[in-house]
Amino acid sequence: GAVVSQHPSWVICKSGTSVKIECRSLDFQATTMFWYRQFPKQSLMLMATSNEGSKATYEQGVEKDKFLINHASLTLSTLTVTSAHPEDSSFYICSASNNAGTDTQYFGPGTRLTVL
C-alpha cells in the first residue's frame, strides 16, 4: 500500500512552453502533498506544500507564478511549470502524506524535465 505515482516520468519541451506534472496517491487519501526539486548529484529541495482544497505554501525563493500547484482532490496534485526555460530543467519529485503532513511521506518516482 501507500503508492504514489507521477506522470509523466520524463518530458522534453521547448523554451517558453508550459508543462504539467501529475502526482497521484493510488491507494490512500493524501491530505498533504509536497513538491521537491533535485539537481544532479544534489539533495532534494522542498519547493512547496500542497494541501487539498487550499492554496499551496511556497518555500522562500520559489516563484509561485512560475510553479503553479493545484491540489484539487485528495488523490491528485499537479505542478505546472509555466513558460519553462532551460534553467528549469531538473528532476521533480512529489511526496504524499495522509495525516496533515505529520505522518510518513511516500515518494513518487520523480519526473525528469528537460527544457530545450
Partner 1 sequence: AQRVTQPEKLLSVFKGAPVELKCNYSYSGSPELFWYVQYSRQRLQLLLRHISRESIKGFTADLNKGETSFHLKKPFAQEEDSAMYYCALSAHGTSYGKLTFGQGTILTVHP
CA nearest to 79, candidates 8, 16, 3: 8
Is residue 71 a contact partner of residue 33, using CB atoms and an 8 Å limit?
A: yes
Q: Minimum CB separation from partner 1 for residue 115, in Å?
A: 23
Is residue 66 a contact partner of residue 81, using CB atoms and an 8 Å limit?
A: yes
The C-alpha cell at 105 is 511521506
Residue closer to partner 1 (CB basis): 14 or 43: 43
CB-CB neighbours of 60 under 10 Å: 4
Rounded to whole angstroms, the Cα distance separating 112 from 116 reads: 13
Q: Minimum CB separation from partner 1 for residue 111, in Å?
A: 12
Residue closer to partner 1 (CB basis): 40 or 86: 40
Residue closer to partner 1 (CB basis): 67 or 110: 110
CA nearest to 69, candidates 4, 8, 21: 21
> What residues line the site for partner 1 (CB under 8 A)?
4, 32, 34, 42-46, 49, 51, 57, 93, 95, 97, 100-105, 107-110
Q: Minimum CB separation from partner 1 for residue 65, in Å?
A: 21
Q: Minimum CB separation from partner 1 for residue 103, in Å?
A: 7
